A = this chain, B = another copy of it.
Amino acid sequence: MRLTTKGRFAVTAMIDVALHGTDGPVTLAAVSERQRISLSYLEQLFGKLRRSGLVDSVRGPGGGYLLARTAAELSVAEIIVAVDEPIDATQCGGRENCLDDRRCMTHDLWAGLNNHIFSFLSGVSLAHLVAQQQAVAAKAMETRKAPAGTKPCKVPVTAAA
* Closest chain B CB from A7 CB (angstroms): 9
Contact call B101/A158, Cβ cutoff below 8 A: yes
Q: Does A69 contact B (CB under 8 A)?
A: no
Q: How large is the interface on A (under 10, 10 to 19, 20 to 34, 35 or more residues)?
A: 35 or more
- Among A21-29, A39-47, A52-60, A109-117, the one that faces the other chain is A109-117
Given A8-B110, A133-B108, do A159 and B101 touch, yes or no (CB 8 Å)?
A: yes
27 contacts between A and B (CB under 8 A): A2-B3, A2-B4, A3-B3, A3-B4, A8-B110, A15-B105, A34-B100, A34-B102, A35-B103, A36-B103, A98-B153, A101-B156, A101-B161, A102-B159, A104-B153, A104-B155, A104-B156, A105-B133, A105-B155, A105-B159, A107-B153, A108-B155, A112-B129, A112-B132, A116-B120, A116-B124, A117-B120
Q: Does A136 contact B (CB under 8 A)?
A: yes
**Nearest chain-B residue to A34 (Cβ)?**
B102
Contact call A153/B3, Cβ cutoff below 8 A: no
Q: Does A92 contact B (CB under 8 A)?
A: yes
